[in-house]
Structure 1
Amino acid sequence: MMKNMIVSLLLVCGVFSVDADEVKSVMEGDSVTLHTDLTVIQTSDVIRWRFGEGESRDLLVDIANNNISYNGPFKDRLHADIQTGDLTITNMRIKHSGPYEVQISRATTTYKRFRVNVTVAPSVISAGDVKSVTEGDSVTLHTDVQTQRDDLILWRFGDDGVLIAKHDKEDNKSSIYDADGRFRNRLKLDPHTGSLIITNTKTTDTGLYRLKISSNRDTKYKTFSVSVSVGRKACWESFLRTGRICSTLHCGSITHCMKSCLSDISLWMKDHHLQLNLAKTELLLIPSDPESHHNLSIQKPGSGDR
């Protein structure tokens, strides 16, 4: 009876998780190295790296007789140091979070355990492209790559680097994130390149977009500064309503806004075989806000008059 109780106790204890000797935190798409703390592997040493818990653990690396064999579901991103047995895992994903264990067999067998936490990568600032579009148009932010089977593409927006899109080629899955409802189903990802497409642009889409491409080979970064301006018609109508169009809708100075509208009027009249008599033309601005005052100096199209 006592013997059966001891065996049962050992079996139960074997399924419990053991505290990690080291905890590693790494960003999604980056690499991590787990150290055996060995200086040199001896010929008779046997080193095995495993991932997971209990009976479902995967054997990742087997080092014996100076030979290395890689196994498991993500063997293509594994690299073991033949001198020390250290394990490097490249291009990490969230799904690679969890317990790792190295078994070192010499005269005796020792174990070292790690807990690896893979978190969503933060924003990274670098020089990039500038895109200027008119509200309502579409704009494409190009990755300039053909995605490979292990690429992870992350798109972020704004100073806080909020994640807005993710393209995981390895899992053949694309995801769009729009927690604050800013884009409202206006974001798309090109399935072949991972380029970000913004349709029916709004002035609120103006800002910094950050791209990160991670693979087993390297990690690339790129940023885009996108400026969305209102069209001339919206600029003119909003100015007449508020007298403060340009400061709020990013259409430039009031002078520039008025010049654009006058230019449109002149072109329309010309197309309809009409001519504007500049000597008898006055421009009256009556904004709805009586406190709004503007000192304008606008040259009429085709004239030196002001």
Structure 2
Amino acid sequence: MSINSCSSSSKQSVPAQTGDLTAVLVSLSDAQSDIKTLTVKSGEQIPLWTGLSGSSVVSQFHWSVGAGSKPETLIDVDEGEVDQNPPERFSGRLFQDTKTGSVNISSARVNDSSIYEGRITAKDNTVFTVKYNVTVLEADLITPTAGPPHDPSAHTRTQPDVAIVVVVVAGVVAVAVAVAVCVVLYKKNKGGQGETVAVTRKAGENITLQTGVTGLHGDDQIFWSKGEERFVIMDFDEGVLVRKTSERFHLDIKTGSLTICSLSINDSGLYQGQIINGNSSQHSFNVTVLEADLITPTAGPPHDPSAHTRTQPDVAIVVVVVAGVVAVAVAVAVCVVLYKKNKGKCWCNSDVI
């Protein structure tokens, strides 16, 4: 079933779950004066939890940012009605759980560091506050170690050395390949579960980004974002379409798959979809949209085996092969380091909607 698609659609719901709300609220009331300290790195999530769980345990909640007498409002929710008009720097990065009052801020920035306060009103009219002192640090940078001091005399030559020139060229090519492989691995593992699927379509065509998931329920949250900054283009939560940036986007609420109609060149980019429920999952697609009519390059001249015939060993070729093997070994080592560094990072905590 899809939202705003050509076929008819309907909303689904799941019976509410119940829990011992009174015990939870008593526990929270005892600690409501505490200010929790939260430190994250730039690009990570800022989870502002209320500590509540269960289905629809709050009736109202209000979150603000900033200390002093005039804090800025982040979000207001009253009986499921969301009034979200945050400061410009938070636009497209706020996600609320209307059942528990928790809020999540994606793609943290250094200037997000501040005091965050939530005022929560439960179904039984119990009111309590939650405060966080959030610090956002710069992401770690790898500082390269210094090499040996330069020795000009080591490069003194009496005549051109063809083998050295060939090695330098081969080294440049090998480094370029290594960088490309590392970038692909880094993007593949950066903050996501599973691999990034590359898809290519022509302008004017349609594309469906398949999640492979089936049997979703009406109270599951599904949202899709575009680009490295993860700008939200589609947000569906508890049977309500919270955000949709284009009429060309259609969401299948049974599978979480996203369809983009009438593709244009500007639709090229990284798309990431996340399904938040008991078994949360994330799906990434690198979409490339080509012009409808492309010129096919003509074939080159036929291969001539005789052009490669030799009568004696070529020392330069041997040097290139050795240099290539060393370069590949270095590239593999760098890629393994990047892969292990980024493996297991998650875009969004699976417990938050």
Which TM-score applies when normalising by structure 2? 0.32
| Structure showing greater relative contact order (alpha-carbon pairs closer than 8 Å, 6 or more residues apart) | 2
